[in-house]
Chain A
Amino acid sequence: MKYTEEHEWLRAEGDVVVVGITEHASTQLGDVVFVELPEVGTTCDKDDELAVIESVKAASDILAPIDGEVVEINEMLVDNPGKVNEDPTGDSWFFKIRPSDPSQMDDYMDEAAYKDLIG
């Protein structure tokens, strides 16, 4: 698992990368009440806004962590946004990207570095 400074996690799964938000981010956001996901087939560059997540407190964007194409989205979250708080690093992934340059993954933090980031 790799981590971004924007509190997303990335997990390689075959030739795609699964993306979600960290436990830390879900705790800080509070109860999630709305999730908007990109369409399957969307091509993205790193840092494009791909998804929106709103909690009782605020709205945030989820950025594309790598260049590629969205190949699958987790529609379950649209109807059950609260699931993000229950299982942020498991069932509550947001989207899967087929990366055009898988080496971009290497730029991100490992778990130890991320834990250091969030203190």
Chain B
Amino acid sequence: MPVPKEQPPRKLSGLRDRQGNKTLERGAYASAEGIAISGKKTEGASQRVVNMRRTVVPEDFPDRPGKDTGYVMSELKQTPLFALHEELGAKMVPFAGYAMPVQYPLGVLGEHNHTRAGAGLFDVSHMGQVLLRGDTPRGVASALEALIPVSVLGLTEGRQRYGFFTTDDGGISDDLMFANRGDHIYMVINAACKEADIAHMRANLPETVSLEVVDDRALVALQGPSSEAVLSRLNSDAADMRFMDVRTLTLAGAECWVSRSGYTGEDGYEISVPADHAEALTRLLLAEAEVEPIGLGARDSLRLEAGLCLYGNDIDTTTSPVEAGLTWAIQKVRRTGGERAGGFPGADRILRELDEGPVRRRVGLSPEGRAPMRQGTPLFASEEGGEPIGEVTSGGFGPTVGAPVAMGYVTSGHAAPETRIFGEVRGKRLPATIVSLPFTPANFKR
């Protein structure tokens, strides 16, 4: 159901990347996408040929094993929808150990715009799905509260919440969605973090809590304003769900765990479907006139415009939830003075920052002009001189906004909306204005 937040590799082909590497030639993202570029020779694994001639992971790829180490697509894990992606003409890329579609023939811009106007179907089966059970539902909820600064006990049956695992230092080791499904908690975690998350839970939850990894289900997201109309044709109960509701619905003859949520800023659903029914259900949804398949490329621009964090870019073990502006997810009951205040890893720092304010904050940035400010762009208070006040953590072109959009961290003194700061792009300091997130208004059915 939740929240996928990974992003596709970002350095795309072409000519040369910013470091002067001949990316097309080296076959970075471009050949990872399945382009056959076979002129100049690169070495080692990057030469091995499978579905695609050459597959090299971009340098900022989250779990890139080492510089110039290549993945081979055939060694990557596949989701139950792999064959369908290929049939649909997707460009497949390595992502968090999986071969995933980065785009379909419609292209990133077209897929982005289609999701905002109609409905987009995303394969997010690479994300981890976990069930937590215990002697009593309250016991499980209480145990989970020791690992996340969120009110789990306060979540009623049939509802879902956003949360995050915190570290002893008050950083974030992953963000997640969890749902109260009566006799168990259903959780969705990021693909790149899932093994660590599972180990963390197994090591730190009491023995009375059992953890089941769901590996026989796919996860697809249907996102966009037409989602309700589309899913209701398969099961009219879908229309009765509100934002963040979870239900078991029979769809195309399969028992599906459905939540009304997503990670695009649009209304929509996330659907956990038995693996052996995943392709049939997906084909049925794609057969609806409003629905197009959407890849990781558009997923990234959609979530960025929606102001949503990508784990590994915008949040990680060095950023606290308070710095990241995720305090809305920490209910009062877990804060200082609350009935169940603290009691989670890093509570000292997180509660202190809630009271006193953090030294830096995540902000939205609207660059002036047309030049995108990409991840890693240093930010300055003035046009000349001075030390950086922060850095862009996600940035690019916002197709719905029609202009560049970015988010990043700046010292708290510069974080107020409408503050004009500067991002250094190719040696030039270009102006940008701090803006409230999201860039595009959320379109949820509350």
Chain A interface (Cβ < 8 Å from any Cβ of B): 5-8, 21, 25, 28-31, 33-34, 36, 49, 52-63, 78, 81, 116-119
Contact = CB atoms under 8 A, between A and B. Distances in A.
Contact of B39 (A33, A56, A57, A117): A117
Contacts of A29: 12-14
B109 A31 contact: yes
A32 to B, nearest CB: 10
Contacts of A53: 14-15
Interface string B10-35: 11111111101011110001100101
The 8 A-B pairs of least Cβ separation, nearest first, read: A57-B12, A60-B14, A58-B12, A117-B39, A119-B36, A33-B397, A31-B109, A60-B15
A61 B25 CA distance: 13
Contact of A34 (B8, B11, B372): B372
Nearest to A117: B39
Nearest to B112: A56
Contacts of B13: 25, 28-29, 57-58, 60
Contact of B24 (A28, A34, A49): A28
B426 A52 contact: yes
B446 interface: no
A33 B16 CA distance: 17
A6 B370 contact: no
B374 A117 contact: no
Contact of B36 (A21, A30, A63, A118): A118
Contacts of A59: 17-18, 372, 374
B370 A56 contact: no
Nearest to B31: A28
Contacts of B372: 33-34, 54, 59
A119 B14 contact: no
B40 interface: yes
A63 B37 CA distance: 19
A56 B17 contact: no
B53 interface: yes
B371 A119 contact: no
Contacts of B25: 5-6
B37 to A, nearest CB: 6
5 contacts: A21-B14, A28-B13, A31-B108, A34-B370, A60-B23
Q: Is the interface of B mostly helix, strand, loop or mixed?
A: loop
Nearest to B8: A57
Nearest to A34: B370
Contacts of B11: 57-58
Interface string B390-417: 0000001101000010000000000000
Contacts of B370: 33-34, 78, 81
Contact of B14 (A33, A55, A56, A117): A55
B38 interface: yes
A34 B426 CA distance: 14
B342 interface: no
B109 A56 contact: yes
B103 interface: yes
Contacts of A81: 370
Nearest to A51: B15
A54 B107 contact: no
Contact of B12 (A8, A30, A61): A30
A56 B399 contact: yes
B17 A58 contact: yes
B17 A30 contact: no
B68 to A, nearest CB: 18
A63 B12 contact: no
Contacts of B112: 56
Given A7-B24, A54-B397, A119 B15 contact: no
Nearest to B35: A28
Contacts of A5: 22, 25, 39-40
A8 B24 CA distance: 12
B16 A34 contact: no
Contacts of B108: 30-31, 56-57
A6 B15 CA distance: 5
Interface string B110-135: 00100000000000000000000000
B301 interface: yes
A63 B38 contact: no
A98 B371 CA distance: 28
Given A7-B24, A53-B14, A58 B37 contact: no
B265 interface: no
B37 A56 contact: no
Contact of B15 (A8, A31, A36, A117): A8
A117 B39 CA distance: 4
B41 to A, nearest CB: 12
Given A7-B24, A54-B371, A30 B103 contact: yes
